Structure 1
Amino acid sequence: MARIPYRTVEDLAPENKDLLKRGIALHRALVNSPGGARAFQGLGQYIRYGSKLDPRLREIAILQVGWLAQSAYEWSHHVKIGMDFGVTESDIRAIMAGDDAALEPRAQLVLRAAREMVAGPGTSQATHDALAAEFDTEHLTDLILVIGFYCAVVRVLASLAIDVEPDYQPYLDRFPLKDK
């Protein structure tokens, strides 16, 4: 159960009702701070709709973060979202098994960058150099923003104990976390 209340559109001032266009549990919790929710959603919207980074690679990076953090919410949501953007069951199983060799070299590099950033403090010089050889600076920057943002997201989810919604539970059941 979440540690703070889930809000509804009815709980919000008129100027903040748009914050619950997607009534997912995370957003329903974050609107306890409308300004914080707006800032959070702004970067999330850029990552999903504005970035030119390949969406499959973006989702592979997010899935790696969610898997490493063992974040049921993030994992279940991005298994579904990832599949919508071309992530395959084989890709998901490879992430779960830590089998980078099952993926193409670019995806392997994205997974490596995500692992290094989760472990902290950031990517190594060798990984940065490999990324710079594969991606132009805009795509490289966006990849680092994606990974960094989702490192923060999983910490917010865990700290607020955000619940997995029933619509996403089947993804978690199909691709369970290690300790589940």
Structure 2
Amino acid sequence: MARLPYLEKADLKPEDQGLLSRDINLYKTLVHNPDAMRAFSGLGQYIRYKTKLDARLRELAILQVGWLARSPYEWSHHVKIGYDFGVTDGDIEALILESGGGTSGLEPLARLVLKAAREIHDGPGVHYDTFAALRAELPNDCIMDLVVTCGFYCAVVRTLASFEIDVEESYMPYLRKYPFPV
């Protein structure tokens, strides 16, 4: 159960009601501080709609962070969102395998992106050799977007965990399809 109540548009000042453009529990929690919600949403919107990084690779990186953090909310939401941006069930199964130290059939660039996401999640950041490999494959703006995306989603999963934000019922099928190991 969430540590703060989920707010609705009626709970907000008229000028803040647009912040609940999506009916999701994360937003309903973040609007306890509308200015923080605006800042959060600004970077989130950039990552979703303006990043230079390929959308499928972006979603794989986000999923990697969600999987490692064992964040039910982030994982379930981005399995669904990932499907919208070209992530396949095979990609998700490969991510799970790679996370456990296995080698999947993913193309080398996707495997490299997952490795960088794991290193960012585990800290302190992308290792030297991984960064050099990224430089050989991606332009600088895409590397910047990959690192910013992973860093942002590390913050997101910690926000979700700190407020114990519940997964909406409409996202539960994705969590049931790909549950975390016990």
Matched-pair identity in %: 58
C-alpha distance in 2 between matches for 1:86 and 1:96: 17
Q: What corresponds to 1:109 in structure 2?
A: 112
Unaligned runs of 5+ in 1: none
C-alpha distance in 1 between matches for 2:62 and 2:6: 24
Quote the offset at 1:31 in angstroms: 0.3
Quote the offset at 1:114 in angstroms: 0.5
Give the SS at the match of 2:151. helix
C-alpha distance in 2 between matches for 1:10 and 1:30: 15
Quote the offset at 1:34 in angstroms: 0.5
Q: Please tell me the residue identity of whatever aligns with 1:102.
A: G
Q: What corresponds to 2:35 in structure 1?
A: 35
Q: Please tell me the residue identity of whatever aligns with 1:73.
A: Y
How many residues were matched structurally? 179
Quote the offset at 1:50 in angstroms: 1.0
Give matches, 1:134-173, under 5 Å.
Answer: 134-173=137-176
Kept in 1, the 8 Å contact 2:19–2:27? The answer is yes
Q: What corresponds to 2:62 in structure 1?
A: 62
Unaligned runs of 5+ in 2: none
Kept in 2, the 8 Å contact 1:100–1:111? The answer is no
TM (norm. structure 1) is: 0.97
Moved over 3 A (4+): none
C-alpha distance in 2 between matches for 1:58 and 1:5: 31
Tell me the C-alpha RMSD between the 2 structures. Answer: 0.8
Quote the offset at 1:97 in angstroms: 2.1
Q: What corresponds to 1:48 in structure 2?
A: 48
Quote the offset at 1:14 in angstroms: 1.1
1:177 to 165, 177, 180: 180
- CA gap of 1:84–1:62, structure 2 versus 1, over 3 A, is same
Give the SS at the match of 2:87. coil
TM (norm. structure 2) is: 0.96
Quote the offset at 1:13 in angstroms: 0.7
Show CA shifts across 1:137-172 (max 9, x none).
Answer: 111100101100001100000010000000000000
